[in-house]
Chain A
Amino acid sequence: MSAQPMSPRLLGAGLLTLALLTAGCVSESGAEKPETGKIAGDLVRGGDEGECTPDKAGGSVTIAEQNEYATLDPAGGSFNFNPAQQIYSSLMRWNPGASEHQPLLAESLSANDDHTVWTLKLRDGVKFGDGTALDADAVVASIDRHRAEGSLSTWAQRARSITEMKTVDDRTVEFTLGAPWTEFPWLLGTGVGMITNPKVDEKSLAAKPPAAAGAGAFVFDHWTPGNELVVTKKSDWWNGPVCLDSIRVIAQVDSKARKDTFDKGEAQVFLGTADLDVSQKLIDEGANHAKYPLRLGLTPNFGVGEDAKTTDGANRTIRRALQLAIDPELMTDRVTGGVAEPVTTLVSSDSPLNDGLKGVPYDRAEAKKLVDQAKADGWDGRLAVMALNQPNNIAIGNQAIAQWEAIGIEAELRTVELSEFVKASLMGGGGFDVLVSGGGNHPLPECVSCDLDQYATKGAGNRVGYSNPKIDDLAERLNGAAPEQRPALLKEVQAVWNEDIPRILYGQQYYMVAWTPELKGAKPGRLLTIDLSRAWLDK
């Protein structure tokens, strides 16, 4: 019996099968479902390993952010916070682990009895990059840029709560406020507290701040928009040795791709906003992190600019129906992969600010009654929902619409790009009744009064035209409240909230800064910011 020639097809198929089987055998196993974590519990992991010493010097760190922002000028608008933190540092720093504001460039910040006058004492020896002392005059000049008429600063309105600034001596500044504000230190941890050198041309700060511009541990090196922004270390920083040679900031919109970059070791710091399950997975996988509580919800349009008082969002009956129809369990399961806490309270159940808060319960039958009532009063039963053109926002919008359609509402989802989203929020004319905010807003432990300020009639962050005298009164009381008074006040806010529904809530989750355990001494600060001035890479 003669041997048969081997068919090329058989040979090819055999090789292909073998290669695929081999590749399959050595592949990693599938991803496991992330575990649900406490929201407020374990807010910070890592960062307490000590500080840089000369023997630890070397290496570079990449920070992967979601978006690239427009300017490096703290008083310039949409602000690149992380690179700016390294360049300018800040007078105060929010410590999310200790839940308190701590002096950074400042030595101390103290208030009078009614919190209307605050005295800032600067640390001795603080210097800008050119060796000029960062003194009281520099502080006043820098903060004045935020307060100035025509300022584009994100914090302009809040900075204008300072009615007077007085230099007591070279290292002391006295701030007089228009009204009591117990959380004033927060302001000096934002861009307002990033002091710029008055000798430097203001116009250079936006794109190419010179080495003399800030008192931080790093100086601007280069910025190629769409690619990277790099800062390099100061060789003779006033506050001691700097270990990291450089810090590179990149932007990657897609959070899964950003996590890939982090997993591959091409980024050492990950900033997580959308796609909350990705953030939770990083925590589960052992990344060091700081969590920033995040309130999940949808925002009714109460009428801004051209939309003033013409939207269905301004109708309280409809708002209540929309809230009652939302099943938080279903929403958080579908939208966050089950990692969020399904509640309609203002803060999470384990937050120190939660002293028995009770949200609005899910009640579809009651929601249907309210819809029928609104229709009887002349409403056409239609709703325009606007969402950012991002997968998670679209998922939130569709999920909410599905639940509202079940109570007889005809809702339509309109997706827009960020700039149109912002424009419609600022100017109105977007023609929407409800706004899907992918994240929502922050029950910020770092500034509780800032949170409620978003709903005060003249609040700096009130973007949808909400107005309620009861909330205005509570916002004012919260501004002057001591920390121990805040939980009780929040209870009052929740009662008004449940009655008037300024926002349709369905859960609590968090934004997150995560960093690799090899990066030691990283100090998380205010929302999604990390200070790497004394950090080092563990080799």
Chain B
Amino acid sequence: MAGQVTVAETRPAGKSALPAGRGRTRRAKTARYVLSRVVRLLSIIAGVTFISFFLLKLTPGDPVATALGPEATPEQAARLRASLGLDRPVWEQYLDWLRGVVTGDFGSTLSQPSRPVSGELAARLPVTLQLIGLTVVLSLAIAIPLAVWSAHRAGRTFDRAVSSVLYGFVAMPGFVAALLLVMLFVFHADAVRTAGLALACAALALTLVAAFRARRREASPLPALIGGGAAVLVGGAVYALLPEFPRQGFVPVSDGLGANLTSVALPVFALTFVDIAVFTRLLRGDLIGELAKPHVLASRAKGMSTAHVLVRESLRPSMFSLITVVGLTIGQLIGGTIIVEHVFRLPGVGSLLVASVRNGDYPVVQAAIFVIAAVYVTVNSLIDIAYTYLDPRVRQVNPV
């Protein structure tokens, strides 16, 4: 009973325990905190677009040259330049653009044929968002179990094997991963299927031998059966279920979910390599530290199951660094999927941005940077705000 009293005394007071008037104060503080974040967000976005506009003017791209092609005459180029307003002073062009944004109008592309910039972004953003969403979800789905088990078996064979493979993932540039996946899954899919079958057969045979030997030693055959069974399942699934992946192109969800997922599968795999490695290494490190803390040791001493100790006691408090990195990763991926977009010819925001920089199409570049900055800053602000709910220590410093 004494322990319960101590917990009640040290825990930050809940809403119901607040004296009259403190609820309003806290709401006001919350509003101020969120407002300050929004102001900071807007000022960052304004600064980014201002700098990017003038930097873009220093780059060599020219929408007029792109629109007219190499066989144009200088007179034609001058005429189109004037009609697009590119002969006006740079600051005037920037203010025009800013006026439009304030009224919710991103303008039209300078690249011909001229199209509304908002439409261009709206067409590209879903592709990039789908890539990012699937990449993050898949990376986390693989990284979290790997990290948990690696931390549990730290220094053992499984942990060392996973670490070695992950170092390889981190060292592999995105375009190499993308081209390797194309070579294997697009052009040598039969070889991959056959390898899957061979893996399944070999795993089955070796598992049976290992289980038989374990029985003879009067040891439990369960570890061999679990490990070998997993290998059989993976190999069998590769053999039986590996779909036909396209070499390039994007199929929208409206044309069928299966076709859509098949079209983005390889790009997503290519993007996940690095993320799996980073997420796993980060979470594993935090978990190893957490597993050595007194409350976890106490939990173990009380005879709690391994699953309870790993998931309930250790995983949640170890997630903070991972959440931060996931937020940063989402921000980076918004404009950073350009390599896989290029290799797989996907119409995402990254490829639009690069093409627009090349063409000097500043309304598109500005709008894309605006969106990227907004997503980046918003995600990170949300993470900051989430901290205050997840971690009482942060709440003490930034009261919400």
Query: Across the interface, do A426 and B67 meet the contact criterion of CB distance under 8 Å?
Result: no
CA distance A228 to B68 in the complex (A): 20
Interface size on A, residues (CB 8 A): 66
| Residue of A with least CB distance to B199 | A19
Q: Is A474 an interface residue (CB 8 A)?
A: no
| A18 touching B247 in the complex, CB below 8 Å, given contacts A8-B227, A23-B195, A206-B112 | no
| A226 touching B198 in the complex, CB below 8 Å, given contacts A3-B213, A69-B69, A152-B79 | no
| Residue of A with least CB distance to B348 | A226
Query: Across the interface, do B198 and A422 meet the contact criterion of CB distance under 8 Å?
Result: no
Query: Across the interface, do A11 and B352 meet the contact criterion of CB distance under 8 Å?
Result: no
CA distance A463 to B74 in the complex (A): 10
Binding stretch for chain B, among A46-54, A269-277, A336-344, A412-420 = A412-420
Q: Which of B202-237 contact A (CB under 8 A)?
A: 202-203, 206, 209-210, 213-214, 216-217, 219, 224, 227-228, 231, 235
Query: Across the interface, do B60 and A266 meet the contact criterion of CB distance under 8 Å?
Result: no
Q: Is B40 an interface residue (CB 8 A)?
A: no
Q: Is B4 an interface residue (CB 8 A)?
A: no
Q: Is A227 an interface residue (CB 8 A)?
A: yes
Shortest CB distance B347–A (Å):
4
Q: Is B321 an interface residue (CB 8 A)?
A: no
Q: Is A207 an interface residue (CB 8 A)?
A: yes
Query: Across the interface, do A14 and B202 meet the contact criterion of CB distance under 8 Å?
Result: yes
| Residue of A with least CB distance to B71 | A154
Shortest CB distance A390–B (Å):
12
Q: Is B87 an interface residue (CB 8 A)?
A: no
Q: Which of A388-422 contact B (CB under 8 A)?
A: 416-422
Q: Which of A4, A24, A226, A425 makes the CB contact (< 8 A) with B124?
A: A226
Q: Which of A26, A79, A252 makes the CB contact (< 8 A) with B191?
A: A26
Shortest CB distance B389–A (Å):
40
- The residues of B that contact A73 with a CB separation of less than 8 Å are 113
Query: Across the interface, do A266 and B67 meet the contact criterion of CB distance under 8 Å?
Result: no
Q: Is A119 an interface residue (CB 8 A)?
A: no
Query: Across the interface, do A152 and B80 meet the contact criterion of CB distance under 8 Å?
Result: yes
Binding stretch for chain B, among A181-189, A193-201, A257-265, A287-295 = A257-265
Q: Is A6 an interface residue (CB 8 A)?
A: yes
- The residues of B that contact A12 with a CB separation of less than 8 Å are 161
| Chain A-chain B contacts (Cβ-Cβ < 8 Å), number | 198
Shortest CB distance A419–B (Å):
4
Q: Which of B65, B247, B359 makes the CB contact (< 8 A) with A261?
A: B247
Interface size on B, residues (CB 8 A): 71
Q: Is B298 an interface residue (CB 8 A)?
A: no
Q: Is B174 an interface residue (CB 8 A)?
A: no
Query: Across the interface, do B111 and A70 meet the contact criterion of CB distance under 8 Å?
Result: yes
Q: Is A469 an interface residue (CB 8 A)?
A: no
Binding stretch for chain A, among B30-38, B182-190, B265-273, B310-318 = B182-190
| Residue of A with least CB distance to B123 | A224
- The residues of A that contact B123 with a CB separation of less than 8 Å are 224, 227
Q: Is A161 an interface residue (CB 8 A)?
A: no
- The residues of B that contact A8 with a CB separation of less than 8 Å are 157, 227
CA distance A377 to B359 in the complex (A): 41
Q: Is A496 an interface residue (CB 8 A)?
A: no
Q: Is A29 an interface residue (CB 8 A)?
A: no
CA distance A206 to B246 in the complex (A): 31
Q: Which of B101-157 contact A (CB under 8 A)?
A: 111-115, 120, 123-124, 157
Shortest CB distance A216–B (Å):
19
| Residue of B with least CB distance to A12 | B161
Q: Is B45 an interface residue (CB 8 A)?
A: no
CA distance A419 to B354 in the complex (A): 13
| Residue of A with least CB distance to B244 | A264
Query: Across the interface, do B248 and A78 meet the contact criterion of CB distance under 8 Å?
Result: no
- The residues of B that contact A20 with a CB separation of less than 8 Å are 195
| A78 touching B198 in the complex, CB below 8 Å, given contacts A2-B217, A226-B124, A419-B360 | no
Chain B CB within 10 Å — which of A6, A152, A425 has the most? A152
Q: Is A59 an interface residue (CB 8 A)?
A: no
Q: Which of A455-477 contact B (CB under 8 A)?
A: 460-461, 463
CA distance A275 to B214 in the complex (A): 59
Chain B CB within 10 Å — which of A2, A418, A426 has the most? A426
Query: Across the interface, do A6 and B67 meet the contact criterion of CB distance under 8 Å?
Result: no
Q: Which of B66, B248, B343 makes the CB contact (< 8 A) with A419?
A: B66
CA distance A316 to B6 in the complex (A): 95
Q: Is A41 an interface residue (CB 8 A)?
A: no
- The residues of A that contact B112 with a CB separation of less than 8 Å are 70-71, 76-78, 206
Query: Across the interface, do B358 and A418 meet the contact criterion of CB distance under 8 Å?
Result: yes
Query: Across the interface, do A420 and B247 meet the contact criterion of CB distance under 8 Å?
Result: no
Query: Across the interface, do B67 and A19 meet the contact criterion of CB distance under 8 Å?
Result: no
Q: Binding site of A, secondary structure by majority: helix, strand, loop or mixed?
A: mixed
CA distance A257 to B197 in the complex (A): 29
Query: Across the interface, do A5 and B71 meet the contact criterion of CB distance under 8 Å?
Result: no
- The residues of A that contact B71 with a CB separation of less than 8 Å are 154, 460-461
Shortest CB distance A13–B (Å):
10
Q: Is B300 an interface residue (CB 8 A)?
A: no
Q: Is B72 an interface residue (CB 8 A)?
A: yes
Chain A CB within 10 Å — which of B69, B187, B190, B216 has the most? B69
Question: 1/0 per residue A76-106: CB within 8 Å of B?
Answer: 1111000000000000000000000000000
Query: Across the interface, do A422 and B62 meet the contact criterion of CB distance under 8 Å?
Result: yes
Chain A CB within 10 Å — which of B65, B186, B210, B250 has the most? B65
Shortest CB distance A154–B (Å):
5
Q: Which of B115, B161, B210 makes the CB contact (< 8 A) with A225?
A: B115
Shortest CB distance A202–B (Å):
12
CA distance A257 to B175 in the complex (A): 13
Q: Is A250 an interface residue (CB 8 A)?
A: yes
Query: Across the interface, do B120 and A225 meet the contact criterion of CB distance under 8 Å?
Result: yes
Query: Across the interface, do B194 and A23 meet the contact criterion of CB distance under 8 Å?
Result: yes
CA distance A15 to B161 in the complex (A): 14
CA distance A224 to B119 in the complex (A): 10
Query: Across the interface, do B248 and A261 meet the contact criterion of CB distance under 8 Å?
Result: yes
Question: 1/0 per residue B319-338: CB within 8 Å of A?
Answer: 00000000000000000000
Q: Which of B65, B194, B195 makes the CB contact (< 8 A) with A426?
A: B65
| Residue of B with least CB distance to A79 | B69
- The residues of A that contact B360 with a CB separation of less than 8 Å are 419
Query: Across the interface, do B186 and A425 meet the contact criterion of CB distance under 8 Å?
Result: no
| Residue of B with least CB distance to A9 | B157
Query: Across the interface, do B351 and A226 meet the contact criterion of CB distance under 8 Å?
Result: yes
Shortest CB distance B80–A (Å):
6
Query: Across the interface, do B61 and A5 meet the contact criterion of CB distance under 8 Å?
Result: no
CA distance A250 to B251 in the complex (A): 13
| A416 touching B79 in the complex, CB below 8 Å, given contacts A14-B206, A19-B195, A27-B191 | no
- The residues of B that contact A19 with a CB separation of less than 8 Å are 195-196, 198-199, 202, 235
Query: Across the interface, do B72 and A419 meet the contact criterion of CB distance under 8 Å?
Result: no
| Residue of B with least CB distance to A223 | B113
Q: Is B355 an interface residue (CB 8 A)?
A: yes
CA distance A263 to B216 in the complex (A): 54
Q: Which of B74, B111, B192, B249 makes the CB contact (< 8 A) with A427?
A: B74
CA distance A493 to B198 in the complex (A): 67
Q: Is A150 an interface residue (CB 8 A)?
A: yes
In the complex, 18 of the A-B residue pairs with CB atoms within 8 angstroms, ordered by the A residue number, are: A6-B224, A9-B157, A15-B199, A19-B196, A20-B195, A25-B194, A70-B68, A152-B72, A252-B248, A261-B248, A264-B187, A305-B74, A421-B65, A422-B62, A422-B65, A423-B62, A423-B65, A423-B77
Q: A15-B206, A227-B347, A266-B248 are in contact. List 13 more A-B contacts (CB 8 A).
A: A5-B214, A24-B191, A72-B113, A77-B69, A227-B249, A257-B247, A257-B248, A266-B246, A266-B247, A418-B66, A422-B68, A423-B62, A426-B72
